[in-house]
Chains A and B, each alone.
Chain A
Amino acid sequence: MPKRYSKHIIYIFISALFFSIQIKEVAAQKCSKKKLADKDIRLDFDYRGQSLFVELSNGDTTSLNIILYSKQNYRIFVAGEQKLGNIEYQIIVPKKKFNRVMESVQPKTVNVYKKDPNGFYLYNPEGERIVIGEETIMDTTWTRETTVFKEVVFDSNKAENNFWEATPSKTQLITIKVNVGLSEKKQLGCVGLYVGREYSNIYQFRR
Chain B
Amino acid sequence: MIKLKNSFLQILSLCFLIILLGFSCKSDKKEKNGGVVINSDFDIDNTDKEEIKSENFKIPSPMEVFTFMEKSGSGFIKEVLNDPENYRNYNSQKSKAVNFGIYSADLAYCCIYEDFQGTIDYFDVVKKLASDLGLNEGFGKQMVTRIDNNLSNIDSLQEIASDSYYEATIFLEEQGLSDLLGFILAGGWMETLYLATESVKQLPLSDPVYERIADQRFLLENLKAYLKTQGNSQGVDELLVNLNELSKVYEDLYFNDENTIITQNQFVNIANKVKELRNLYIR
A141 to nearest B CB, angstroms? 16
Contact, CB under 8 Å: B37 / A148: yes
Q: A24-32, A78-86, A104-112, A158-166: which one contacts chain B?
A: A24-32
Chain A interface residue count, Cβ-Cβ cutoff 8 angstroms = 61
Q: A37-45, A124-132, A172-180: which one contacts chain B?
A: A172-180
B239 to nearest A CB, angstroms? 18
Chain A residues with Cβ under 8 A from B43's Cβ?
Answer: 148
Chain B interface residue count, Cβ-Cβ cutoff 8 angstroms = 86
Chain A residues with Cβ under 8 A from B22's Cβ?
Answer: 19-22
Query: Most chain-A Cβ atoms within 10 A of its Cβ — which of B1, B24, B255?
Result: B24
24 pairs of residues in contact across A and B, judged by CB atoms under 8 Å? A12-B154, A12-B161, A13-B11, A17-B15, A22-B169, A29-B166, A33-B166, A49-B60, A61-B50, A63-B52, A63-B55, A64-B58, A65-B57, A65-B58, A65-B225, A66-B59, A67-B58, A69-B215, A98-B255, A150-B47, A173-B218, A173-B222, A202-B71, A205-B71
Apart from A9-B157, A63-B54, A147-B36, 11 more pairs, CB < 8 Å = A12-B158, A12-B160, A15-B15, A21-B22, A29-B170, A54-B54, A63-B45, A67-B60, A69-B215, A148-B37, A175-B45
Contact, CB under 8 Å: B44 / A20: no
Q: Does any Cβ of A come within 8 Å of B280's Cβ?
A: no
**Which residue on chain B has the smallest CB distance to residue A90?**
B48
Q: Does any Cβ of B come within 8 Å of A185's Cβ?
A: no
**Which residue on chain B has the smallest CB distance to residue A93?**
B44
Q: B residues bordering A, Cβ < 8 Å?
A: 1, 4-5, 8, 11-12, 14-16, 18-26, 36-48, 50-64, 67-68, 71-72, 108, 111-112, 114, 151-152, 154, 157-158, 160-162, 164-166, 168-170, 172-173, 177-178, 181, 208, 211-212, 214-215, 218-219, 221-222, 225, 251, 254-255
How far apart sit A123 and B128, CA to CA, in the bound complex (Å)?
59
| Given A18-B63, A23-B26, A67:B222 Cβ within 8 A | yes
How far apart sit A17 and B112, CA to CA, in the bound complex (Å)?
11
B78 to nearest A CB, angstroms? 17
Chain A residues with Cβ under 8 A from B72's Cβ?
Answer: 202
Contact, CB under 8 Å: B53 / A60: yes
How far apart sit A98 and B247, CA to CA, in the bound complex (Å)?
13
Q: A residues bordering B, Cβ < 8 Å?
A: 1, 5-6, 8-24, 26, 29, 32-33, 49-50, 52, 54, 56, 60-67, 69-70, 94, 96-98, 144-150, 171-173, 175, 177, 179, 195, 202-203, 205, 207
| Given A11-B154, A33-B166, A26:B4 Cβ within 8 A | no
Chain B residues with Cβ under 8 A from A11's Cβ?
Answer: 154
**Which residue on chain A has the smallest CB distance to residue B181?**
A23
Closest 10 CB pairs of A and B: A21-B22, A16-B15, A20-B24, A171-B215, A16-B161, A20-B22, A50-B58, A17-B63, A94-B44, A173-B218
| Given A14-B67, A19-B22, A61-B52, A148:B42 Cβ within 8 A | yes
Contact, CB under 8 Å: A70 / B211: yes
A25 to nearest B CB, angstroms? 9
Contact, CB under 8 Å: B67 / A32: no
A69 to nearest B CB, angstroms? 6
| Given A96-B42, A148-B36, A21:B12 Cβ within 8 A | no
Contact, CB under 8 Å: A146 / B41: yes
How far apart sit A151 and B54, CA to CA, in the bound complex (Å)?
21
B106 to nearest A CB, angstroms? 13
How far apart sit A148 and B268, CA to CA, in the bound complex (Å)?
27
Contact, CB under 8 Å: A13 / B15: yes
B59 to nearest A CB, angstroms? 6
B258 to nearest A CB, angstroms? 9
**Which residue on chain A has the smallest CB distance to residue B157?**
A12
A18, A33, A61, A203: the one contacting B51 at CB < 8 Å is A61
**Which residue on chain B has the smallest CB distance to residue A30?**
B166
How far apart sit A29 and B30, CA to CA, in the bound complex (Å)?
23
Chain A residues with Cβ under 8 A from B108's Cβ?
Answer: 14, 17
Contact, CB under 8 Å: A52 / B37: no
A15, A62, A70: the one contacting B158 at CB < 8 Å is A15
Contact, CB under 8 Å: A148 / B60: no
**Which residue on chain A has the smallest CB distance to residue B152?**
A5
Chain B residues with Cβ under 8 A from A171's Cβ?
Answer: 211, 214-215, 218
B11, B21, B24, B42: the one contacting A9 at CB < 8 Å is B11
